[in-house]
Structure 1
Amino acid sequence: MTQINPARKPTEAELDILRVLWAQGEASVRDVHDALNATRQTGYTTVLKLMQIMTEKGLVTRREAGKAHLYQAAMRESDMQGQLLRDLSDKLFSGSTAMLAMHALSLDSASDDDLERIKALIERKRGTS
């Protein structure tokens, strides 16, 4: 799995852009700008600059398609989530996934469906030990 260099971790604004790219697969700056503006006002040049920075950081890749540049996330969403959670677990819970999970569950109520999915994951983990 690809590791995130600490200097290349996405900011909140960059994560918003990555979410658009994960949903769309590949998109132009205009596509990302339009998607972000569906929820909040964001300037086109701001999105463009952020995507240029993200290219330099290795968070996205860019290819030319005619006059447009098309961007794609350089890392799968699940890989990014896993890496960011590992980093959070290391910083806040000394690497204890159990403490991270227990704390997350204590923050909010979990639906019966969520609890069943957690139980199934625990059973799978027990089976692979």
Structure 2
Amino acid sequence: MSNTTLKPTEGEMEILQVLWEKGNCTVREVHEALDKKDSGYTTTLKLMQIMHEKGLVDRDTSSKTHIYKALVNKETTQQHLVKKMIDNVFNGSAARLVMQALGNKSASKEEIDLIKEYLDKLENK
């Protein structure tokens, strides 16, 4: 199964976010970045080992401390997950997703300006 068809779990997404933000990391660095009081280091280690088996991350074992890096692209993963959410939760309607997202959280003026700019670009295509 290719990593593009995988659906990362919530915990795996949290780890991927750390790797996307920080780049290559040890398990310890990821665990500290997650700052989870309710789970231990070994939980993070096990999850990252599973992610390696699934093809979501790669690890460099050339030194004593293994270094992990994301194998999946952030934008591609986000697009895949949003598409699945639109299809499964919003009955295929991107408009419903956007209205729900904007209705639940007040967007900043900068965010609204970015959305307007994006919509203008779509309209002018």
Structure 1 spans left out of the alignment, 5+ residues: none
Q: How does 1:1-129 map to 2 (within 5 A)?
A: 4-5=4-5, 8-37=6-35, 39-128=36-125
| TM-score normalised by length of structure 1 | 0.84
Runs of 4+ in 1 over 6 A off after TM superposition: none
In 1, Cα distance between the equivalents of 2:109 and 2:42? 44
Q: Report how far residue 88 of structure 1 moved.
A: 0.2
| Superposed CA RMSD | 1.9
In 2, Cα distance between the equivalents of 1:3 and 1:96? 26
| TM-score normalised by length of structure 2 | 0.87
Paired residue total: 124
* CA shift in 2, pair 1:59/1:27, >3 Å: same
Identity of aligned residues (%): 44
Q: Report how far residue 36 of structure 1 moved.
A: 2.0
SS class of match (1:65): coil
* CA shift in 2, pair 1:35/1:3, >3 Å: closer
The one-letter amino acid paired with 2:94 is T
